[in-house]
Amino acid sequence: MDRSPRPAVMGFTDELFPTGTHMCLIYDHEDERRGVIGRFLDAGLQAREKVAYFADTMAPVEVAAWLRDMGVDVPRQGNAPGFSITVAEKTYCPDGRFAPEAMLSTLRAYHQSVVDQGYPGGRVSGEMSWALRGIPGSDRLMEYEALVNDVLATHPITAVCQYDARRFDGAAIFDVLKVHPMMIVHGRIVRNPYYLQPHEFLQPAR
């Protein structure tokens, strides 16, 4: 099975990046977030990739509405075989708690569905504010984010994780930077100088 990364159009920048790129968007303006994420999702749909969005601050129907307002060709029901909008908390915590191993398995299964269903690639984006509600296991979010990098190396899904700097404190944001090799800054993807390899980031916790 070919799991090698391929160049992917991101939509909000002219540069191509390989599938499997793991990025964080740390933002403090809603317009900025919607502009970047809307173009990211649109580029995936135009490339006929399998695209998934995990919504937290708005209901899925509201997300579909703002994407349509941007001109994104969202299926009328909001979901289709190649595109889905789900509630982030239900996606990350289907049993009412967050288990990194389970979500990593979900990512692997998602990539397998991309391959099995013949899509040229897959991309996902999730709003991470669900982790601020004290859900059991949510304190392991950064452990999960670190391990995502190992998963995407063999199961290349292009991913953007969204963090609202107005809601996450400074220490949490610094950890976010440590676990994402790439970050989105002013509409550009740049290599993150604070990034640590998963084994380096997780070493102190052992």
What values do phi and psi take at 47, rounded to 5?
Answer: -85, 0
Query: Is residue 1 situated within a structural domain?
Result: no
- Quote the domain boundaries for residue 85: 7-205
Residue 33, domain CATH: 3.40.50.300
**In tens digits, what is the pLDDT along the chain, a chain of 206 residues?**
455 678 899 999 999 999 999 999 999 999 999 999 999 999 999 999 999 999 999 999 999 999 999 999 888 766 677 999 999 999 999 999 999 999 999 999 999 999 999 999 999 999 999 999 999 999 999 999 999 999 999 999 999 999 999 999 999 999 999 999 999 998 899 999 999 999 999 986 54
Which residues are registered as beta bridge partners of 24? 161, 183
pTM of the model: 0.92
Based on the structure, what is the number of domains in the chain? 1
Query: Is residue 74 situated within a structural domain?
Result: yes
Query: Is residue 166 situated within a structural domain?
Result: yes
CA end-to-end distance (rounded Å), the chain: 34
Dihedral angle of Cα 137, 195, 153, 38, to the nearest 10 degrees: 80
Query: Is residue 36 situated within a structural domain?
Result: yes
DSSP letter string, 102-165: HHHHHHHHHHHHHHHTT-S-EEEEEEGGGGGG--TTGGGHHHHHHHHHHHHHHS--EEEEEEET
Query: Is residue 165 situated within a structural domain?
Result: yes
